[in-house]
Amino acid sequence: MTRAGRASNLRRVRRGCHRWAAPALAALLSVLAAGCGGADDGPAEEVRLGEGEPPAAARATVVAALGDSITAGSPLYDPDPTVQGSIGASLDRRSQYAYWAQRRIPRARFRNCGVFGERTDQIAARLEECAEGAEVLIVQGGINDIAQMRRVRGAARNLRGMVARGRELGMRVALVEVLPWNNGYPGAARRIRRLNTLIADIGRSENVPLFPWYEALDDPASSGRMKAGWTDDGNHPSVAGYRRLAEVIELP
């Protein structure tokens, strides 16, 4: 398929929605239950570096970065132009792990297929559109399953299915851990740790690399929460936090 054809397909990306509430988990879940509805279409995006920064190689390895708002780059970035408009003057392309990973690995070209608020089943539904023409697939997700009180084993099953489908499509695949969640602490902490245990099992049994994102942002003085400075809103990494996530990425 031509590059133009791939770009046309990439415009068809479903969107979900949720609203973050106050730090209390119960309050958050009530907002999620009321505020999440159907999805509409939104684009994936090739990651662009600013002027004077190292470009991707001419014959780059295309990396499909598939996931939720952690992949999209919330709270300061999103590949959807509509969301970018709502962010306004605070928009910062550095607020995505793919930006920093592409700087570290010039031979790669990252494609940001993150959609805010999506569960693993919704992420899985977009896999083939995101992955078309890519050689590497990075699978990220699970926190919204936890926030919406979905079964952890169901989320793990969906993640395993994405790994399997990516390999069926001939891609090299990697997994990432679920991050600590400050605003969900302590209520969500045990379920996050349980899901990460299941994700590690997937990595071992499927023989795919697992990037240790939980450890990268966990505060050793207050485990189960991201360290101050590595998150801006208690839900997502800060620019410095996204940079730390990129530092543990090595292409499979």
CA–CA separation, 123 and 85 (whole Å): 23
pLDDT band at 44 (very low <50, low <70, confident <90, very high): confident
CA–CA separation, 184 and 146 (whole Å): 10
Please tell me the total count of domains within the chain: 1
Which tokens is 229 given? 């400075």
pLDDT at 34 over 50: no
Q: Is residue 209 part of a domain?
A: yes
Please give the pLDDT value at position 5: 44
Q: What are the residues whose beta carbons fall under 8 Å from the beta carbon of 91, sequence distance 6 or more?
A: 76, 77, 84
Please give the pLDDT value at position 222: 96
* Span 45-72, average pLDDT: 78
CA–CA separation, 130 and 128 (whole Å): 5
pLDDT at 59 over 80: no
Q: Is residue 81 part of a domain?
A: yes
pLDDT at 75 over 70: yes
Q: Is residue 241 part of a domain?
A: yes
Q: Residue 98 in contact with residue 52, Cβ under 8 Å?
A: no
Q: Is residue 252 part of a domain?
A: no
Give the CATH number for residue 186.
3.40.50.1110
pLDDT at 72 over 60: yes
Q: Which residue's structure tokens are 């969301």?
A: 83
pTM for the complete prediction?
0.82
| Nearest Cα to Cα of residue 38 among 132, 118, 130, 138 | 118
Q: Is residue 188 part of a domain?
A: yes
Paired strand residues for 139: 66, 175
Q: Tell me the residue range of the domain where 108 lies.
A: 3-247
CA–CA separation, 252 and 250 (whole Å): 6
Q: What are the residues whose beta carbons fall under 8 Å from the beta carbon of 94, sequence distance 6 or more?
A: 76, 77, 100, 239, 242, 243
**Tens of pLDDT along 173-220?**
999 999 999 999 999 999 999 999 999 999 999 999 999 999 999 999
Q: Is residue 186 part of a domain?
A: yes
**Tens of pLDDT along 13-24?**
334 333 333 344
